[in-house]
Amino acid sequence: MLAEFLQYLFTGITIGATYALIALGFTLIYNASHVINFAQGEFLMIGGMATVSLTAMGVPMVLAIVLAIILAGILGIALQRFAIAPAKQADVVTLIIITIGASIFIRGIAQVVWGKEYHVMQNFSSDEPIRVFGAVLNSQSLWVLGVGAVVVVALVLFFTKTLTGKAILATSMNKEAARLVGVRTQMVLMLAFLVSALLGSVAGIVVAPITFTSYDIGIILGLKGFVAAAIGGLGSGVGAVVGGLALGIVEAMAAGYISSDYKDAVAFSMILLVLFFMPRGLFGPKVVERV
């Protein structure tokens, strides 16, 4: 009984931590530009796939990971400069369609370069599972949680201690005012996409040994990240982390105790339920609309 429960909990927290990282990426870009970036999932895919193919070419794992993250970062900047920035006058829906176009484009390139098959990535450390009260914990789960925690702490420090971080926060609060006090808002937008891409690729890399990776893995992971961000309340960092973990745990429990066929249905019902009672998510800012 306990073993079973723990097993589902471990699975849920692991995948939930990944969702949290993706949701943080959404939150960052949303705060800086009010764009929902439907290409967010592709950063995960690029991170995982590039690491796999680089290690296959004989590049040491650590170097492969660094290169993959850099590649995703370049992609993030390119997305902002060449797709989002030129369309700044566009409607919200139009921007959504642009990011969807970008994600189809990136996926198409990945399919040409890496093919359609699934790729396996080695665990970072031992393949030996860890046993806790009868539940089996994949050692990679610890990596996911550890890296997730480090990233969250780093983000908090970045936003509270560095001038650049504060500039991003200022821009998200009031773009015009930020520009008046000398923040280069275009630069900030680019930074938001860069950091978001880095976050996504890190998530994609740490989770790849557990879920495997393929050219189209970004679609569903990106969507789950969006669900997590909406549960937590768009624009809230705490919300993204809580939403991600909650979504992962609920999904794992639903798969274990109800039916794995319906685990996604449970996740999507959860978002409807949350929005029904809290139209701005759990931690969404209470915005008073100006008329």
Question: Interaction with other proteins in 59-118: which residues (CB under 8 A)?
Answer: 83, 86-87, 89-94, 96-98, 100-109, 111-112
Q: Is 272 in the site for other proteins (CB under 8 A)?
A: yes
Residue 60 is given by DSSP the state: -
Residue 213 is given by DSSP the state: B
CB nearer other proteins, residue 104 or residue 142: 104
Query: CA triplet 225, 197, 229: central angle to 5 degrees?
Result: 20
CB nearer other proteins, residue 119 or residue 224: 224
Residue type, 25: G
Q: Is 262 in the site for other proteins (CB under 8 A)?
A: yes
Give the position of tokens 């990233």: 151
Residue 116 is given by DSSP the state: S
Q: Are 178 and 31 in contact (CB under 8 A)?
A: no
CB nearer other proteins, residue 155 or residue 227: 227
**Which of 1, 126, 128, 276 forms a contact with other proteins (CB under 8 A)?**
276
**Which of 47, 76, 222, 281 forms a contact with other proteins (CB under 8 A)?**
281
Compute the distance between CA of residue 229 and CA of residue 223 in angstroms, rounded to an integer.
10
**Which of 67, 159, 264, 282 forms a contact with other proteins (CB under 8 A)?**
264
Q: Minimum Å distance from CB 191 to other proteins? A: 21
Q: Is 271 in the site for other proteins (CB under 8 A)?
A: yes
Q: Which residues does 68 contact at the CB level (< 8 Å), separation at least 6? A: 46, 47, 48, 50, 51, 54, 201, 205
Q: Minimum Å distance from CB 92 to other proteins? A: 7
Q: Minimum Å distance from CB 102 to other proteins? A: 6
Q: Minimum Å distance from CB 160 to other proteins? A: 26
Q: Is 280 in the site for other proteins (CB under 8 A)?
A: yes
Compute the distance between CA of residue 170 and CA of residue 270 in angstroms, rounded to an integer.
32
Quickly list H helices, the chain: 2-33, 40-56, 61-78, 92-114, 139-161, 163-173, 175-180, 185-211, 217-232, 237-253, 263-277
Neighbours of 53 (CB within 10 A): 15
Binding residues for other proteins, total number by CB under 8 A: 46
DSSP-derived pairing of the beta strands 130-132 and 135-137 = antiparallel
Question: Interaction with other proteins in 192-231: which residues (CB under 8 A)?
Answer: 223, 226-227, 230
CB nearer other proteins, residue 5 or residue 114: 114
Tell me the per-residue interface mask from 225 to 254 with other proteins, x by CB under 8 A, - otherwise: -xx--x---x--------------------
The residues that touch other proteins, with contacts defined as CB under 8 A, are: 30, 36, 83, 86-87, 89-94, 96-98, 100-109, 111-112, 223, 226-227, 230, 234, 261-262, 264-265, 268-269, 271-272, 275-276, 279-281, 289, 291
